[in-house]
Amino acid sequence: MKIFTGTVVAKKMDKTATVVVERFFAHPVYEKRIRKSRKYHVHDEVGSKLGDMVRFVTTRPVSKLKKWKIIEILKKEKK
């Protein structure tokens, strides 16, 4: 079971959040740190909001694109 941590960037769908997960790694030759990001469509029954830091986990397929589920909100966005 994989657990990811990311930031909610969109909440336009019902019970679905778009979460961006960023990872850093060193270039194999030049050793410069590189940032890569990937977006996931995540099933949201917790009630996260835009800008929240969330932790999500793999689960059975809920729809064509949703194969992950939010398990907790780590940090709420301050307004």
CA dihedral 20, 64, 48, 34 (to 10 degrees): -10
Distance of CA 77 to the CA centre of its chain: 15
Q: How would residue 77 be classed by pLDDT, with cut points 50, 70 and 90?
A: confident
State pTM to two decimals: 0.88
For the chain, list the domains and their CATH numbers: 3-75 (2.40.50.140)
pLDDT at position 79 over 90? no
Report the pLDDT value the prediction gives residue 78, as an integer from 0 to 100.
74
Alpha-carbon distance of 19 to 62, in angstroms, equals 16
Residue-wise pLDDT tens digits, 32-62? 999 999 999 999 999 999 999 999 999 999 9
Average per-residue pLDDT in the chain? 95
Whether residue 72 has pLDDT greater than 90: yes
